[in-house]
Amino acid sequence: MNHPSVRVIFSCRTLDYGSQLTTKDLPRIPQVEITALTDLQIEQFLRVYSPVHGESLWRQLKYTPQADLYRSPYYLKLLIDQAHAGKIPKGRTALFTGFVRAMLQREIPDNERLREQDWLLTERERKRIDQWQNDYELPKRGKLFNTLAAFAFQLQQKQRDGETDNVGNSGNSGNKSQVSIDFDDALDVLSEQIEDEKQQEHLLNIAVDLQILDMPGDDVLFVINCCRNTLPRAIWPNVSARQRQKKAVH
């Protein structure tokens, strides 16, 4: 207001809002949508930000359907952070699993509310946090990831039934924006897995620390929209959709 001639640029994922920014009550706001990276741009990004493995990573991606997953700088950065040996994760679920593992290794040494809660992660899981049997394994003895997987699966079900909100829209708008759920409703969903409300809130806060969830205002949503879809498969990789639903309920 004090500097009307100063222009401000806001950057945001299209999934973070569903309604138009310009309305009859607001002045016109110019909008620009960044297009997906081309093959050449992916190759250049990998060579610049991963000088050691960039060429090898591009050879593995080139002319494959998997390349479409990495047509944004964000996912390319996730890939580079995980491709220490020049090996590409096997699909979206493995990429997300690697991201969560990295967050666990970062948080466990210094995050007291994660280290001191055996019901979330057992002591054995915390000690073996860098020992995995496959590309999709996450800790399953504690309640942390089993509960988040059930939460994610139930969020999918509620979205199909029109019971959740797309950010910036009503639940029945049909818009495919990032799905959010009210904080109190999130606690209700978690109550099927965890009875104690303080533990429910504690789990949500830990998920925020791990950058799995975000809680802007009174909303709860997954930081990466695909996490909501891949987390159940990462936790229950050999379980059918019907069995996942039973696990989410029980």
**pLDDT tens-place string over residues 22-52:** 666 766 777 777 889 999 999 999 999 999 9
Domain spans of the chain? 39-111, 143-249
Structure tokens at 187: 């606690």
Structure token digits, residue 175: 């818009």
How do residues 53-98 score in pLDDT, each as one tens digit? 999 999 999 998 888 888 988 889 989 988 878 888 887 788 888 8
Nearest to 171 by CA among 186, 159, 189, 182: 159
CATH number for the domain whose boundaries are 143-249: 1.10.10
Which percentage of the chain shows pLDDT scores above 70? 74
Interval 118-131: pLDDT, tens: 899 998 998 888 88
Please choose, from the candidates 102, 163, 177, 157, the residue with its C-alpha nearest in 3D space to the C-alpha of residue 132. 102
Mean pLDDT estimate for the chain: 79
Q: In what order do the strands lie in the sheet with 179-182?
A: 165-166, 179-182, 219-222, 213-214
pLDDT of amino acid 170 = 33
- pTM of the predicted model, to two decimals? 0.70
Judge whether residue 201 has pLDDT over 90.
Answer: yes
User: Where does the pLDDT of residue 190 fall: very low under 50, low under 70, confident under 90, or very high at 90 and above?
Assistant: very high
Nearest to 98 by CA among 125, 130, 62, 128: 130
Query: Cβ distance 104 to 211 under 8 Å?
Result: no
d(CA 164, CA 142) in angstroms, rounded, equals 27
